[in-house]
Amino acid sequence: MDPLHGILPLDKPLGISSMKAVAIVRRRAGGARTGHAGTLDPLATGVLVLALGKCTKQIDSLMATEKRYLTTIDLTAFTTTDDVEGERTEVALGTPGARPTPPTRGEVERTLAERFTGTVMQRPPAFSAMKVGGRRAYALARKGEAPELAARPVTIHSVAVTAYEWPMLSLDIHCGKGTYVRSIARELGEALGTGGHCTMIRRTAVGEFTIDRAVPIEAVPERVTQEWLDSLRPPSPVAR
């Protein structure tokens, strides 16, 4: 039986995978069963909800909750990974297939409202954890066998422009399970006649777990105790 049980909302840092974060916490928790409720790419930061012990039974329900992200998109190029890690394909204004001038903020907002809000069809990135014939898409893509992933429906509740100065666009995204922020960047670029890839992604909420409640990985004690896990629970409302 696992010695520890609880939910740990982690603030995953840049540069490590979700499974690496799980491994770090599992070791500090004395080998207790540990899983995460939704992958974050190594180049993404923010809320990664971990479940320990008997709380791993809650992972499916946690994964089904709504998410929030902040992202910044470079509209001058597409990349093979839809983020800064991949090979760039420049899209220069005025060249064949590209628009002559940068889109206005109003045009960007209209495109987001009309084509990227509600239940929409989205094609996952080639470099993703989606399975193709029993193998992860990213494993195939790394071997030069980039899979053609079919579009599937996702729910995007809202997308707000928080800053825009060509060619950099910053968005606040509220979405449902299975939405890829990198796909939003690519498909927005296609819709606008520009490029589109993410230069930054930060998940700010997974259901009730918001970034202000997330624990930096350096703040996780070397020996995780039940008392420490219990301290992460929000206080119960005071009866009035």
Measure CA of the first residue to CA of the last residue in the chain; give whole Å.
Answer: 39
User: Which residues are part of the catalytic machinery?
Assistant: 41
CB of 114 closer than 8 Å to CB of 121:
no
CB of 23 closer than 8 Å to CB of 218:
no
Distance CA 221, CA 83 (A): 32
Distance CA 34, CA 22 (A): 6
CB of 120 closer than 8 Å to CB of 154:
yes
Maximum separation of any 2 CA atoms in the chain, in Å? 66
Residue (of 108, 107, 150) closest to 131 by Cα position = 150
DSSP state of 125: P
Residue 39 neighbours by CB under 8 Å, 6+ apart? 18, 129
Query: Which helix (H) or strand (E) is 199 found in, with range?
Result: strand 197-206
